[in-house]
Amino acid sequence: MEYDVVIGIEIHCELKTKSKMFSAGLTSFGKQANTCVNEIDLGHPGTLPTVNKEAVKKALQACIALHLEIDSLVKFDRKNYYYSDLPKGFQITQQFHPLGRHGYITIHVDGQSKRIGINRIHMEEDTAKQYHLDEVTLIDYNRAGTPLIEIVSEPDMTSGKEAAAYVEALRQTLYYLGVSDVKMEEGSLRCDVNVSLKPKGSSVFGVKNEIKNLNSISNVEKAIDYEIKRQKDILDAGGVIEQATRRYDETTKTTVLMRKKEGSVDYKFFPEPNILPIQLDPKWIEEITNHLGELPNARKERFMKDYGLSEYDAMLLIDNKELGEYYQEVMKTCKNPKLAANWVIGDLQAILSKNNLTIQTTCIPSVSLAKLVNMIEDKTISGKQAKEVFELMVQGKDPEVIVKEKGMKQVSDEASILAMINEVLDENQQSITDYKNGKDRAIGFLVGQVMKKSKGQANPAMTNALVLQEIAKR
Amino acid sequence: MDNKDALYFKKLAKQLMFELNDQEANEMVQEFEEFNHLLTHLASIDTTGVKEMIYPFEEPVTYLREDELIHVITQQEALSNVSNSQQGHFVVPKVVK
């Protein structure tokens, strides 16, 4: 039987603020346990929450960038549940009045664009980190109270690939906005996925399974693809899908049952009485809207328009925000955008990964790479020589100094090249005969001999053309 | 619904990790019954058409806390009410949700 796949995704994203959502406690990652907390984070009696302005600003930035309608009257609600990761016994969230509703993000899969609806974005607080040992549980409240936004998609995705593209597009947008460091491996972006199947064309949704805490984009795709197959096999065999929460097991590459859902938990939501409704200033929202900064898609379009790059190259350059910024710096003094893009995307990235560096820690200043590309462009050095220079640039040397020290300048003087070519041709009569008998490869050999004679400094393109010209004369 | 007897409050106290002796538990049962009785009076009030009041003031506020001043307590202070701690962590019975 054929099925329609229905996928919806909930993302929890930690906001990059100094203090917590409702307290002046320090936000942190990897600090000593329970050293970034205060009385509010620990739920001590008599403490009252206050709302972090920067967290609201960052949540607004996300809403605006993702085209959500904003509710400027901010209200919070209490989600009551009794568990040790929340010392107050409840979580402050926005159940009834999310900050934003009805937005979207555009994803690109297999050359097709698709709009994925975003149902809502709301603000809330993170819970404590727990370590379950054999007998007991250890709790570190450092994370408790960290500002979060929850981004709930519409069930608009139909494959693991689309879901992965959605998470990646969101991740990239949130990173460009600077609202979060979106590190899935550190848990600052966490992903829960709902998957269900229904008979093709049916308007009734099937029973969904939720896969919790996917920690990488590739696992999002793998977990969904597995889950689709699992549900399909059950349905094809005449079975029924039970609503459940599952997790993805990386070793077996399967989804594993965590718990069956027996009715929904009653969290007894009610409006948070300790935080009065807050009216946001429309001028403030307008100011935030006008200063969002450039988003990935806009940057891609600009790179294609201003630098004449292909969509593929532009995509590679926006994938990593800092790499794109580095490229822009290179382009301030560089004459050939395409060549510069090739160097940034190819050689630079390769050498960074080889030396365990990042674009932020690279020892090759953008101005040096621009100089190198310019030297290739104006034929001072050949592409082959450039690779040699580049290897030395990693040690922090200026390319112009390297070229000078190595005496590497490319010979583009026609008379000198011609002299060398004629010497080579005189010495290799057999190759000329071979070429005339249809062995094109002989040209490569002859050019190679000229390059050797010039100690690699002859302009290769020029040498190639002149060798052909001189052979014809013989 | 659990029966709100002394055993119930002792169980609750255990979960909340504080001591409750028999006398205190019995007092709690009594207090709870009295309180419950008072609440039955509320049920007798006709609230048809009355809008719920959540906040003490009708007007929204505009205050948002600046993300600048940091206030944290020391690990020792954070753990000062804890009966059991390990390597700076709170220790509770293992409950995996």
Contact between B70 and A18 using a beta-carbon 8 Å cutoff? yes
With contact defined as beta carbons under 8 Å apart, do A318 and A300 qualify? yes
pLDDT at A179: 96
Residue A273 has its nearest CB partner, among B55, B68, B94, at B55
pLDDT at A358: 85
- Helix, coil or strand: residue B39: helix
pLDDT at A457: 79
Residues of chain B found within 8 Å of residue A271, distances taken between Cβ atoms: 54-55
Same domain, A434 and A387: no
**A338 to chain B, minimum CA–CA distance in Å?**
43
CA dihedral (A322, A323, A328, A333) positive or negative = positive
- Helix, coil or strand: residue A25: coil
Q: Once rounded to an integer, what is the mean pLDDT over residues A259-283?
A: 89
A135 touches chain B (CB under 8 A): yes
B16 touches chain A (CB under 8 A): no
Contact between A17 and B79 using a beta-carbon 8 Å cutoff? no
Give A282's Cβ-side CA count (13 Å radius): 0
Is the pLDDT confidence value at A200 over 90? yes
Contact between B75 and A34 using a beta-carbon 8 Å cutoff? yes
Of the ranges A157-171, A181-195, A346-360, which one carries the lowest mean pLDDT score?
A: A346-360
Q: Which structure tokens are listed for A420?
A: 């060398």
Q: Once rounded to an integer, what is the mean pLDDT over residues A341-361?
A: 89
Is the pLDDT confidence value at B86 over 80? yes
- ipTM for this prediction: 0.81
**CB interface of A with B, residues 25-44, below 8 Å:** 25-26, 32-39, 42
pLDDT at B35: 92
Res. A322 pLDDT band, cuts 50 70 90:
very high
If you count residue pairs, one on A and one on B, with CB atoms under 8 Å apart, how many are there? Answer: 124
Give A412's contacts (C-beta < 8 A, 6+ positions apart).
A379, A459, A462
**A233 to chain B, minimum CA–CA distance in Å?**
29
Contact between B92 and A136 using a beta-carbon 8 Å cutoff? yes
Q: Once rounded to an integer, what is the mean pLDDT over residues A32-47?
A: 94
> Distances in Å between the alpha carbon of A91 and those of A36, A148, A270, B17?
19, 12, 11, 20
Q: Which of A329, A114, A378, A130 is nearest to B95 (CA)?
A: A130
B60 touches chain A (CB under 8 A): yes
pLDDT at B10: 92
Give A232's contacts (C-beta < 8 A, 6+ positions apart).
A3, A197
Of the ranges A251-260, A280-289, A409-418, which one carries the lowest mean pLDDT score?
A: A409-418
Give A197's contacts (C-beta < 8 A, 6+ positions apart).
A3, A4, A5, A6, A206, A228, A231, A232, A235, A241
Is the pLDDT confidence value at A263 over 70? no
User: Quick one: closest CA in A to B74, which residue?
Assistant: A35
Contact between B89 and A277 using a beta-carbon 8 Å cutoff? no
Q: Which structure tokens are listed for A327?
A: 């490229």
Contact between A42 and B78 using a beta-carbon 8 Å cutoff? yes
Same domain, A334 and A245: no
Domain count of the fold of chain A: 3
Same domain, A169 and A304: no
Q: Which structure tokens are listed for A42?
A: 């620990």
Q: Which of A283, A73, A270 is nearest to B58 (CA)?
A: A73
A298 touches chain B (CB under 8 A): no
What is the percent of chain A with per-residue pLDDT over 70, rounded to a whole number? 100
Number of H-type helices and E-type strands within chain A: 16, 16
Same domain, A367 and A454: no
> What is the average pLDDT value for chain A, to the nearest integer?
92
Contact between A55 and B96 using a beta-carbon 8 Å cutoff? no
Same domain, A230 and A354: no
Same domain, A58 and A182: yes
Is the pLDDT confidence value at A216 over 80? yes
Same domain, A383 and A235: no
Domain boundaries, chain B: 6-90
Give B62's contacts (C-beta < 8 A, 6+ positions apart).
A278, A279, A280, A281
Domain end among A378, A405, A432: A405
Backbone angles phi, psi at A155, to 5 degrees: -75, 60
**What is the b/e burial string over A302-320, where b = at least 16 CB atoms within 10 angstroms of the residue's CB?**
bbeeebebeeebbebbbeb
A93: which strand partners?
Answer: A77
Same domain, A354 and A436: no
pLDDT at B2: 60
Q: Which of A109, A133, A377, A202 is nearest to B92 (CA)?
A: A133
- Helix, coil or strand: residue A82: coil
A276 touches chain B (CB under 8 A): yes
Contact between B67 and A132 using a beta-carbon 8 Å cutoff? no
pLDDT at B97: 58
Same domain, A266 and A377: no
Q: Which residue has the higher pLDDT, A404 or A323?
A: A323
Same domain, A83 and A60: yes
Is the pLDDT confidence value at B1 over 70? no
Domain end among A355, A381, A405: A405
A273 touches chain B (CB under 8 A): yes
Q: Is A254 left (phi over 0), alpha (psi -120 to 50) or beta?
A: beta
Contact between A18 and B68 using a beta-carbon 8 Å cutoff? yes
**CB interface of A with B, residues 9-28, below 8 Å:** 17-19, 23-26
Same domain, A272 and A325: no
**CB interface of B with A, residues 63-92, below 8 Å:** 63-75, 78-79, 84, 86-92
Number of H-type helices and E-type strands within chain B: 3, 2
**CB interface of A with B, residues 93-132, below 8 Å:** 131-132
pLDDT tens digits for range B6-53? 999 999 898 777 889 999 999 999 999 999 999 989 888 998 998 888
Residues of chain B found within 8 Å of residue A19, distances taken between Cβ atoms: 65, 67-70
B54 touches chain A (CB under 8 A): yes
Domain end among A359, A374, A405: A405
pLDDT at A262: 66
Of the ranges A8-17, A160-169, A360-369, A407-416, which one carries the lowest mean pLDDT score?
A: A407-416
Is the pLDDT confidence value at A130 over 60? yes
pLDDT at A327: 95
Domain membership of residue A34 as a residue range: 3-285
Q: Once rounded to an integer, what is the mean pLDDT over residues A356-376?
A: 88
pLDDT at A79: 96
Q: What is the DSSP letter of A256?
A: E
Task: Report which secondary-structure segment, H or E, holds A471.
Answer: helix A460-473
Same domain, A345 and A363: yes
Residue B71 has its nearest CB partner, among A24, A133, A141, at A24
* Range of A10-14, A311-315, B89-93 with top mean pLDDT: A10-14
CA–CA gap between residue A85 and residue A42 (Å, rounded): 10
Is the pLDDT confidence value at B95 over 80? no
With contact defined as beta carbons under 8 Å apart, do A346 and A390 qualify? no
Contact between A278 and B73 using a beta-carbon 8 Å cutoff? no
**CB interface of A with B, residues 77-96, below 8 Å:** 82-85
**A131 to chain B, minimum CA–CA distance in Å?**
9
CA dihedral (A123, A125, A127, A129) positive or negative = positive
With contact defined as beta carbons under 8 Å apart, do A100 and A63 qualify? yes
Q: Once rounded to an integer, what is the mean pLDDT over residues A362-380?
A: 88
**A189 to chain B, minimum CA–CA distance in Å?**
21
